[in-house]
Structure 1
Amino acid sequence: MILTVTPNPSLDRTYEVPALERGEVLRASGERVDPGGKGVNVSRAVAAAGHRTVAVVPLGGAPGALVADLLSAQGIEVAPVPVTGHTRSNIAIAEPDGTLTKVNAPGPELSPEESETLLAAVGAYSPAADWIACCGSLPRGLAPEWYAELVTRAHGAGARIALDTSGPSLLAALAARPDVVKPNAEELAEAVGRPLATVGDAVKAAEELRERGAGTVLASLGADGQLLVTGEGVWYGSAAVTAVRSNVGAGDASLAGFLAAGGEGPDALAAALAHGAAAVQLPGSQMPTPADLDPSAVTVTADVPQDLVLSEQGSPR
């Protein structure tokens, strides 16, 4: 079972338009309403792959109730934590060339009591979890050290932790020694405080995160593929994509594939790449099923192209 924790979930509406024209009335050619948030997306991808998953989410108001209903309809067990504020609603506008414009709401502010209730809910499910995926930004009211506390408690229950966050909350959590961290190129650059121009730069940055406490670093390099940096070695992989339709949730689908495949080694990296590549070719934040995966499009090697220049160069914010 893969347990997911999404401290700041959302109700996501995605509209497909011929072109985004500022100041004009746009007519959508397609519309999707999905439960959102990085951890929620991981649960959706795990469920689509046929595995059991439980989503721990703070939910409030009518948007929160709809998020719970949508998750349940997708076969996901929901562990809701009631909060006073309303769950945020996000808007995404997708253009035919794959360009995505997003407007993300801040979300509710959690009280100290709600924060503790959320941690307790995670603790209740931790003993039964093969992996716990803690994902996304922290809502107002939670200190940057909140993820570090969650990692410490989960390790105390014998669970393995995969963390997908950035900024101060990522840096604070490293001292608690999460088993896996999953930054993208920009987040990796921010964590080490310097720009990353090549794959070799990204490898060095990932190794630095391991020195600070991360067990494994699964780094997304966008169109340039992914890196897996562990105590056993370094692997680089890429996946051919026919056409990008939407990259919403693609990184979350990738993490789900990685964890569902065991969460370690080159085979898990290949699964991550296959899931991520399938996700970007689907509309909105739709998660791939096994039928959408194309393992033959994936290449994984220990011969890392150190000098390959990143097309989406990571720069500290």
Structure 2
Amino acid sequence: MSDVAAWIAVDWGSSNLRAWALDADNNVIAQAGSPRGMLGLAPDEFEGTLLELIDGWLPESAEAPLPVLICGMAGARQGWVEAAYLPLNDGTDNVLDRLGSRLTPVTTQDSRLQVQIVPGLCQHGAPNGGNAFDVMRGEETQLIGLIAERPGFSGAVCLPGTHSKWARLGNGRIASFDTFMSGELYKLLRYDSVLKHSLRGDDLSDEAQRGAFLAGIDTVLAAPERLSAELFGIRARDLLDTQLTQDETRGAWLGARLSGLVLGLELAGATASLPTDSQIVLIGADALCQRYRIALEHLGFTVGLEANEEMILTGLGHIRHAAATP
């Protein structure tokens, strides 16, 4: 790497690790990734795993250790070092601005590293709706990135994932948020339930599969109390519906319906209080965001997309600047 890194940004998730070397102007000069997420590591393995990824970016001596700012699951209780959740307050100040003052330092054996972890957010009762108890870790950084790009933003933000987050922002402040376990629920149903015998991966670029996906959303929105019955109906259709084509095509159609049923249940809760002409901003992996976009536009919402990586890097840069500001 010819350019000199001024700091390193890290997004450490449950399943994956991503790192970027940035110069003094926050331009990316190198990047790397690894499948070694938090779930596969013991606390004493984090430093070595990080060094495997970024060793070539570090200075030769420890006279000026390189700052490393980490967001995500490295700060979980089962992670490297626990970074306590920062609670939402009564709205008298902006909790997102306070993250920079609550970074958790990590003691490392390699003196070339100066590691800090961004805290997550928690809420105990949501004054504007939402779960009474909820937490997020990693998404707060993406929300900071969004606000840095759209100062004073008000509206709904969805961050799709294994545990999807829906945040409500007002004038650049986070008011409340909800977590929906839709991704994990889909995985359990897809791979660990009786439905696994009937399902294949879907492709929403296929007109028939897209139709099955949207029909699943409409079905659960019309009668969410029948979700469990509709889920078993997938298995029954596989056994009895002679109009479905065979093998892979049938399994993909049924897989698309399952995806629609599960996502529809999330949207029934997440969008219940939103006017249908509302704009919803999506931040996350491209393929998953496109799935959410198809569903939300089908329901009449206007959807905006923000690049996942850009929001992470902008958010970490904002937090780093806030931490350095007296």
TM-score by length of 2: 0.28
Larger RCO (CA under 8 A, 6+ residues apart): 1
Q: Give the structure with higher Rg (CA).
A: 2
User: Could you say which structure has the higher helix fraction?
Assistant: 2
TM-score using structure 1 length: 0.28
